[in-house]
């Protein structure tokens, strides 16, 4: 754990992702889906990336793994333990040092038994048995097909695929939706344990409640960018402890905090104007918010925020 203090396991600087769209007339257009993200994850830490669907969270995971579609253009820098993640490095690290925990069993080959799938390219039968042991999966489970798994079993199998690799960075893409609260909580506990063992976990979720309980920091995603990254404590306190109007609105929208809906909708990536993406829905919106070309992340009270008015 301690030896990673110098370089974070994952360090993302100014990451942007655009899609190049071709149409038949050979016209070309670009669609910016992720803009100017700065985010780092240290060993032993769970960083929750939270935001509504369509905010580009999963694309961030795919960008880190280097499995975006061919027409994606990535700019900025991503470093893994200090090494720049070039496509070649990513290809080398995928499945070994960086592991993805997918959303559901649909990410498993339906016609292949679970055991070999957990082993993947690099794992062995012994490792698989160990991992199964750890997650209290019966040895016979290896002989089952994905459609025969129960919800809780499926979840543990999916986590197994990441744990078997002994990866330092685990990216969990929406690991909890559709699960009953108990299983969801057990799943989150597994991630907490993994982090406590010294792994870095990126937890992509729209379930902020669970993130409150298990994450160390929360990065709020909005329209393809981070609007606030702050320690989980600030999110638990809520209100003025938070820095961005969207984070506060999110907080207020939680059932236990009044269930207040946020008016309006998230802008579609292709329709992003300059300035603050949240401007149209923000009660503090000023001319500065709409005219500024870009709004930089700034550190305020020990957290980062992308807002002109943050204090």
Partner 1 sequence: MSNTICQTIKKSTFFWQFNLRTRTLAAIAGAFVILTAIAAAGILIDPASYAPQFQQKNLAPSLTHPFGTDWMGRDMFIRTVKGLSTSLWIGLLAATVSSVIAVIMGVAAATMGRRTDSFILWLVDLIQGIPHLILLMLISFVLGKGMFGVWMGVALTHWPILARVIRAEVLAVRNSQYVLAARKLGSSRWKIAVKHIMPHVVPQYIVGLILLFPHAILHEASITFLGFGLLPREPAVGIILSESMRYLTAGMWWLTVLPGASLLMMVLLFDQIGENLRTLMNPSSAQE
Partner 2 sequence: MHLAAYIGRTLIRGVGLLVAVVLVTFVLVQASPIDPMEAYVTAENPVSQEQRDAIAAYWGLNDPPLERLEKWVSALAHGDMGTSMYYRQPVTEVIRVHFMNSLMLMAVAWILSGFFGFVLGVVAAAYQHTRVDKFIKVYCLLIASAPTFWIGLLILMVFAVWLGWFPLALGTPIGKEAAAVTLGDRLYHLVLPALTLSVTGISQIALHTRQKLIDVLNSDYAVFAAARGETKWQIVYHHGLRNILLPAVTLQFGSISELFGGSVLAETVFSYTGLGYVAVVAGTKLDLPLLLGIALCSGFFVFVGNLTANLLYPLIDPQIREGMTHE
Residue closer to partner 2, measured from CB, 173 or 228 = 173
Task: Calculate ∠ Cα 219-224-228, nearest 5°.
Answer: 25
Sheet holding 10-22, edge to edge: 28-41, 10-22, 72-80, 83-84
CA gyration radius for the chain? Answer: 20
- Counting contacts by CB under 8 A, is residue 293 touching partner 1? yes
Residue closer to partner 2, measured from CB, 91 or 213 = 91
Residue closer to partner 1, measured from CB, 25 or 69 = 25
**Which one among 19, 89, 107, 152 touches partner 2, defined by CB under 8 A?**
107
Strand 98-101 to 169-173 pairing: parallel
**Which one among 79, 96, 192, 206 touches partner 2, defined by CB under 8 A?**
96
Q: Report the site for partner 1 in 259-278 (rule: CB under 8 A).
A: 270-274
**Which one among 100, 184, 218, 295 touches partner 2, defined by CB under 8 A?**
100
CA distances in angstroms from 11 to 39, 48, 89, 211, listed in the order given: 6, 15, 15, 21
Residue closer to partner 2, measured from CB, 148 or 257 = 148
Distance CA 249, CA 243 (A): 11
User: Token digits for 102?
Assistant: 């997918």
Least distance (Å) from partner 2 to the CB of residue 51?
Answer: 20
- Counting contacts by CB under 8 A, is residue 280 touching partner 1? no
CA atoms within 13 A on the CB side of 64: 31
**Which one among 31, 52, 145, 292 touches partner 2, defined by CB under 8 A?**
145
Q: Residue 263's binding partner, choosing from partner 2, partner 1, none, with beta-carbon cut-off 5 to 8 A by kind?
A: none
Residue-level length of the chain: 311
- Counting contacts by CB under 8 A, is residue 70 touching partner 1? no
Distance CA 169, CA 88 (A): 17
Residue (of 213, 206, 201, 212) closest to 162 by Cα position: 201
Least distance (Å) from partner 1 to the CB of residue 208?
Answer: 29
Least distance (Å) from partner 2 to the CB of residue 188?
Answer: 21
Q: Report the site for partner 1 in 9-28 (rule: CB under 8 A).
A: 21, 23-25, 27
């Amino acid at each position: 754990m301690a030896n990673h203090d110098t370089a974070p396991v994952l360090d993302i600087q100014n990451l942007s992702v655009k899609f190049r769209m071709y149409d038949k007339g050979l016209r070309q257009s670009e669609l910016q889906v992720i803009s100017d993200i700065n985010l780092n994850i240290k060993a032993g830490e769970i960083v929750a990336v939270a935001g509504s669907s369509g905010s580009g969270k999963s694309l961030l995971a795919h960008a880190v793994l280097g499995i975006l579609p061919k027409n994606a253009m990535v700019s900025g820098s991503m470093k893994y333990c200090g090494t720049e993640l070039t496509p070649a490095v990513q290809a080398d690290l995928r499945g070994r040092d960086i592991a993805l925990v997918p959303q559901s069993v649909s990410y498993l080959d339906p016609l292949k038994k679970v055991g070999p799938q957990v082993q993947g390219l690099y794992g062995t039968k012994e490792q698989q048995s160990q991992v199964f042991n750890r997650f209290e999966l019966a040895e016979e489970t290896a002989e089952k097909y994905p459609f025969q798994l129960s919800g809780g079993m499926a979840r543990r199998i999916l986590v197994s695929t990441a744990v078997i690799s002994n990866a330092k960075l685990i990216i969990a893409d929406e690991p909890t939706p559709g699960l009953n609260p108990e299983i969801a909580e057990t799943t989150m506990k597994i991630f907490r344990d993994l982090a406590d063992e010294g792994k870095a976990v990126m937890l992509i979720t729209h379930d902020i409640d669970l993130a409150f309980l298990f994450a160390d920091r929360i990065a709020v995603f909005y329209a393809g960018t981070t609007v606030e990254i702050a320690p989980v404590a600030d999110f638990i306190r809520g209100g003025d402890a938070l820095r961005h109007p969207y984070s506060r609105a999110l907080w207020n929208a939680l059932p236990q905090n009044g269930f207040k809906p946020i008016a309006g909708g998230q802008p579609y990536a292709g329709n992003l104007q300059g300035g603050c993406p949240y401007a149209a829905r923000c009660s503090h919106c000023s001319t500065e918010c709409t005219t500024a070309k870009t709004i930089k992340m700034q550190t305020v009270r020990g957290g980062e925020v992308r807002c002109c008015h943050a204090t």
